[in-house]
Amino acid sequence: MSAATTTPAIAVFCGSKNGLNPIFMDHAASIGSGLAAAGFSIIYGGGNKGLMGALANAMLEGGGLITGVIPKVLIEWEHQHEGLTELVITEDMHQRKKIMYERCDAAIILAGGFGTLDELFEMLTWNQLNLHDKKIYFLNSAGFYTHLILHMQHLQNTGFLYGDLSQRISFFDTPEALLSALDQKL
């Protein structure tokens, strides 16, 4: 990335809980510090708990720029992060997702629950409909997404996807492998 280019923004979708395996928190922090070190900025859900908090705190400790986008309804639930570069408060979840998609150059999916999956599948659907062409990177921490990956491959193998899945999504087992691939693409 040359000094003349603008800072690419990476949307990171992840859980507002820690999960039961400590590797989820470790990987979220590694992604945050790795993106900061590589000169990327982050746009994420704006929370200060769970993987969101680990990601944001590592990014900030690394001196990176990070924007949180949080709907009013989640401010108390997700405990909005107070130390971000920018915090955008939206009216609802739909506006949150739209802003995140519009502002990012690519997306990383970390472990998470229904909200993470909702954000992932909306972004994938928009990609398939050619509303955007942003690459999506999965971090399959400790095999967290193995079943989902297999199911998405099944969707392709049974003729329910438009185009090759590998043109939209890349899967990685370690933060280092993901960050290396991301750095080569943007």
For residue 71, what is the domain's CATH number? 3.40.50.450
Q: Is residue 4 part of a domain?
A: no
**Number of domains making up the chain:** 1
Q: Is residue 152 part of a domain?
A: no
Q: Is residue 106 part of a domain?
A: yes
Q: Report how far apart, in Å, the C-alpha atoms of 13 and of each of 5, 52, 80, 160 are.
A: 25, 8, 15, 25
User: For residue 69, which of 35, 42, 106 has the smallest C-alpha distance?
Assistant: 42
| Residue with the larger pLDDT of the pair 180 and 185 | 180
- In this prediction, residues 8-12 reach a mean pLDDT of 97
- Is pLDDT at 2 greater than 70 in this prediction? no
Q: Residue 183: pLDDT band by 50, 70, 90 thresholds? A: confident
Q: Is residue 22 part of a domain?
A: yes
- Is pLDDT at 159 greater than 60 in this prediction? yes
Residue 3 confidence (pLDDT)? 40
Structure confidence by residue, pLDDT tens digits, 63-115? 999 999 999 988 767 678 889 999 999 999 999 999 999 999 999 999 999 99
- In this prediction, residues 17-32 reach a mean pLDDT of 98
Q: Is residue 18 part of a domain?
A: yes
Q: Is residue 164 part of a domain?
A: no
Burial of 167 (0-12, 13-18, 19+ CB in 10 A): exposed
Quote the domain boundaries for residue 181. Answer: 9-113+122-141+169-185
Q: Is residue 65 part of a domain?
A: yes
Q: Is residue 93 part of a domain?
A: yes
